[in-house]
């Protein structure tokens, strides 16, 4: 089996693994197991899985360097794009299903509820990253500008954690755990950057 074939199988396996939570959520909905407020359950699950996958994407580079497996970097892009898809579904469900496209109410929520303000801002920052996640964009922008644009992820993921923390009313442990993981990952990058200089 060629290396290209192995890479293709790995990418398909990773993509399928990333989509399993969505399939499980659909199955739970089909079985009527989404609780008393199914819309809130769907919105929350989609958002949490989007955040988790963004964090997994941040983990790939340190893991590849620590394990000395540079080819692991290849799975970062599909993970990031699937994370973006979860977040699009998260926002779309809020807009279309929860708010019934009531733009006046949505705008009021954005202005008055900090967790929604931060979440929407993070999503807007994520759009140019998703839009340039293909090889032609690297050639078009140039590798240096492309890398600069994609460093927005170091701002977006902490914003996602804050969005989650402010959303949660009772148990703040999950967003705090995610925040700790993100702090470690960003700290590792800061130390690596200082060593290179």
Would you state the pLDDT for residue 193? 83
Check: CB of residue 14 under 8 Å from CB of residue 78. yes
pLDDT computed for residue 197 by the predictor: 72
Maximal C-alpha separation, the chain: 57
- Short-list 156, 145, 167, CA closest to 53: 156
The predicted model gives 110-117 an average pLDDT of 96
Residue 2 predicted with pLDDT over 90: no
User: Which residue has 């890479």 as its token pair?
Assistant: 7
- Is pLDDT of 6 > 90? no
Nearest to 55 by CA among 167, 197, 161: 161
The pTM of the full predicted model, rounded to 2 decimals, is: 0.94
Question: Residue 116: which pLDDT band, with cuts at 50, 70 and 90?
Answer: very high
Q: Which candidate, 84, 59, 85, 82, places its Cα nearest to that of 72?
A: 59
pLDDT tens-digit readout, 19-42: 999 999 999 999 999 988 999 999
- Cβ atoms of 137 and 146 within 8 Å: the answer is yes
Average pLDDT, the chain: 93
Per-residue pLDDT reduced to its tens digit, 148-162: 999 999 999 999 999
Please check the confidence at residue 114 and state whether its pLDDT lies above 80: yes
Q: Is residue 110 classed as helix, strand or coil in its secondary structure?
A: helix
Q: What is the pLDDT of residue 91?
A: 97
Distance between CA atoms of 15 and 6, rounded to whole angstroms?
14
Give the residue among 169, 175, 22, 14 at the shortest CA–CA distance from 93: 22
Residue-wise pLDDT for 50-109, tens only, equals: 999 999 999 999 999 999 888 889 999 999 999 999 999 999 999 999 999 999 999 999
The whole-number pLDDT of residue 174 equals 95
pLDDT (tens digit, 9 = 90+) per residue, 14-24? 999 999 999 99
**Distance between CA atoms of residues 164 and 43, nearest Å:** 12
Q: What confidence score (pLDDT) does residue 190 get?
A: 92
With 80 as the cut, is the pLDDT of residue 1 above it?
A: no
How far, in Å, CA of 21 to CA of 147, rounded? 30
């Amino acid at each position: 089996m060629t290396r290209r074939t192995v890479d293709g199988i790995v990418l398909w396996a990773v993509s399928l693994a990333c989509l399993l939570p969505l399939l499980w959520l659909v199955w739970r909905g089909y079985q009527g197991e989404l609780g008393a407020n199914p819309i809130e359950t769907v919105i929350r699950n989609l958002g949490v899985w989007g955040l988790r996958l963004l964090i997994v994407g941040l983990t790939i580079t340190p893991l590849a360097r620590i394990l000395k497996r540079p080819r692991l970097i290849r799975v970062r892009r599909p993970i990031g794009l699937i994370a973006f898809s979860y977040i699009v579904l998260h926002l779309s469900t809020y807009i279309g299903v929860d708010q019934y496209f009531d733009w006046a109410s949505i705008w009021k929520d954005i202005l008055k509820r900090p967790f929604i303000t931060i979440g929407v801002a993070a999503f807007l920052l994520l759009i140019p990253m998703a839009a340039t996640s293909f090889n032609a964009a690297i050639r078009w922008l140039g590798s240096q500008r492309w890398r600069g644009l994609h460093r927005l992820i170091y701002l977006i993921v902490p914003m996602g954690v804050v969005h989650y923390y402010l959303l949660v009313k009772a148990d703040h442990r999950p967003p705090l755990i995610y925040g700790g993981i993100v702090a470690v990952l960003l700290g590792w990058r800061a130390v690596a950057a200082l060593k290179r200089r």
